[in-house]
Amino acid sequence: DQQVKQNSPSLSVQEGRISILNCDYTNSMFDYFLWYKKYPAEGPTFLISISSIKDKNEDGRFTVFLNKSAKHLSLHIVPSQPGDSAVYFCAASSSGSARQLTFGSGTQLTVLP
C-alpha cells in the first residue's frame, strides 16, 4: 500500500530549462509535505517543504505546488543546472504520526549540459 507515489522513475532535462517532478498521495491525513534530494553514497538532504494550509512555497530556483483536492504535489526547478542531477524523494507526514515521514520511491533527475 503505497501512500506516496512518484510514478516517474527518471527525468532528463536540458540545462536552463524547467524540471517538473510529480508526486501523488492517498492519505488525506497528511498535512506536511517535503522534497529531499539524494546524491549517491550520501543521505537525503532537505530541499523544500509545504504545509497543507498553503498551495505554493518558493525558495530560490525551487517551487513546490500543492493541490489538495487532487492529492498531488509537484516540484519545479527553474532554471535547471547540471548540479541538480540527483534522486528526488517526495515525503509526507501528519501531526498524528509523530511526524514520521512516508517516502515515495524517488525520481532520478538528469540535467544535461
Partner 1 sequence: EAGVAQSPRYKIIEKRQSVAFWCNPISGHATLYWYQQILGQGPKLLIQFQNNGVVDDSQLPKDRFSAERLKGVDSTLKIQPAKLEDSAVYLCASRVEGYGYTFGSGTRLTVV
Nearest CA to 104 out of 27, 51, 13 is that of 27
Q: Which is nearer to partner 1, 42 or 69 (CB)?
A: 42
Whose Cβ is closer to partner 1: residue 15's or residue 57's? 57
Alpha-carbon gap, residue 106 to 11, rounded angstroms: 11
For residues 8 and 108, the answer to whether their CB atoms sit within 8 Å is no
Contacting positions for partner 1 (CB under 8 A): 4, 6, 9, 34, 36, 41-46, 49, 89, 91, 98-106
Lookup: cell for 77: 526547478
User: Which is closer to partner 1, CB of 49 or CB of 76?
Assistant: 49
Minimal distance in Å, beta carbon 103 to partner 1? Answer: 3
Query: Please, which residue, 43 or 113, has the CB nearer to partner 1?
Result: 43
| Least CB distance to partner 1 at residue 50 (A) | 12
Q: What is the DSSP letter of 83?
A: G
User: What DSSP letter does each residue of 12-30 carry, written as one string?
Assistant: EEETTS-EEEEEEE--TT-
- At its nearest, how many Å lie between partner 1 and the CB of residue 105? 5
